[in-house]
Structures are given as C-alpha cells and as structure tokens.
C-alpha cells in the first residue's frame, strides 16, 4: 500500500514543529532557572558561519508552510521574520501549525507529479511534487529543526532524542 502525499507531509511537519515548540519551552525554562536572558539562546549559533536559533526556527516554519502550500496549490502565508524572543518564535510555530491544520488531504494528495519551481540564488529549480517533498522539503525541515535543537543542547538545555522526535 502506498502512502499519500498528505500523509507523508503534514503529520510529520506538525510533529516536528510541535517538538520544536516544546524544546523552545525547555530553553526558556533553562534560561529562567539559570537566571539569564533567553535571547542569548535565540541569538546563539553553533558556528560563526551558521545561522542563529531564530533563523533556524524561521526557516523550519518556512519549509513546512511553503512546502505544504505549494503541494496544495494555495497561497503561502507570509511572516515578517522579525522574531527576537522565544515567545515570538513559539507564536510563529503556532501560526504555521494553524495553517497546516487548515489543509486537507484532498488538497495535497495527487500532487506527486505536480511541477513546482523554486527561485533559488543559483537560478530556478523545478521539481515534481514527490521529489520536492522527499528531496527538498523534508530534508530541509529536519535539518533546521535539528540545528535549532542542537543550539539549545549545546547551551546546556537538558533535552534528548525523545524531545526532538516529539509525539509520534
């Protein structure tokens, strides 16, 4: 039996983003317990040439909402990318989850062969829907969620693999 495009996308996106929100909660609690401003975490990065936690969350939500919207053929919600606090990042995740909740299987299923063209720095890239989902959206979403998790863990937030995986 094959898996539908909706089943391969939206539930996984919601699980990862829900887990990301939960590890942000743990980051905020950690900062409060250690008596430091949680924006230190929001602005931290793993290496000088990597993006900070705030941008990791922004890109993760962009991957989820953009990926699902393109597959569904609906307008992609636009967010300002101006979050500077954990609460603001969590609100962004909540808006993304609300958008995903509004999509139905009928909107996404059958998009395996749909042509999706992205404007990239190096030029336009065109995918078929299934390859777009499995070769671009999912790997990018997982990468940015994992990197956000890693930034928090690197700073001492007590999280583990189970926190990353979320509720499954």
Q: How confident is the model at residue 2 (pLDDT cuts 50, 70, 90)?
A: confident
Q: pLDDT tens digits for 91-150? A: 999 999 999 999 999 999 999 999 999 999 999 999 999 999 999 999 999 999 999 999
**Spatial separation of the C-alpha atoms in residues 27 and 42, rounded to whole Å:** 9
Average pLDDT along the chain = 96
Counting Cα atoms < 13 Å in the Cβ hemisphere of 71 gives 33
CATH of 10-165, one of 3.40.50.1370, 1.20.120.640, 1.10.260.40, 1.20.120.450: 1.20.120.450
CA distance 83 to 87: 9
* Residue 109: strand, helix, or coil: coil
How many whole angstroms separate alpha carbon 14 and alpha carbon 11? 5
Locate 116 and state its tokens: 């999706």
Assign residue 77 a region (left: φ > 0; alpha: ψ between -120 and 50; beta: otherwise): beta
* 13 in Cβ contact with 141 (< 8 Å): yes
The pLDDT value given to residue 48: 95
In this prediction, residue 38 carries a pLDDT of 96
Q: What are the pLDDT digits (tens) for 67-99?
A: 999 999 999 999 999 999 999 999 999 999 999
pTM for this one?
A: 0.96
Specify the pLDDT at position 1: 63
Query: Where along the chain do its domains lie?
Result: 10-165
Residues 127 and 118 sit within 8 Å (Cβ to Cβ): yes
**Distance (Å, rounded) from C-alpha 137 to C-alpha 160?**
24
């Amino acid at each position: 039996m094959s898996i539908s495009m909706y089943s391969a996308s939206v539930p996984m996106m919601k699980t990862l983003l829900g887990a990301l929100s939960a590890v942000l909660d743990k980051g905020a609690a950690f900062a409060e317990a250690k008596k430091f401003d949680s924006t230190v975490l929001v602005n931290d990065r793993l290496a000088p040439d990597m993006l900070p936690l705030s941008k990791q969350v922004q890109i993760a939500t962009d991957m989820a909402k953009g990926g699902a919207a393109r597959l569904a053929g609906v307008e992609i919600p636009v967010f300002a990318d101006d979050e500077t606090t954990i609460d603001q990042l969590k609100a962004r995740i909540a808006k993304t989850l609300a958008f995903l909740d509004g999509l139905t299987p009928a909107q996404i299923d059958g998009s395996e062969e749909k042509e999706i063209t992205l404007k990239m720095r190096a030029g336009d890239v065109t995918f078929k829907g299934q390859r777009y989902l499995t070769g671009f959206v999912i790997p990018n979403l997982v990468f940015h969620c994992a990197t956000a998790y890693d930034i928090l863990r690197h700073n001492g937030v007590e999280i583990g693999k189970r926190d990353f995986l979320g509720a499954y």
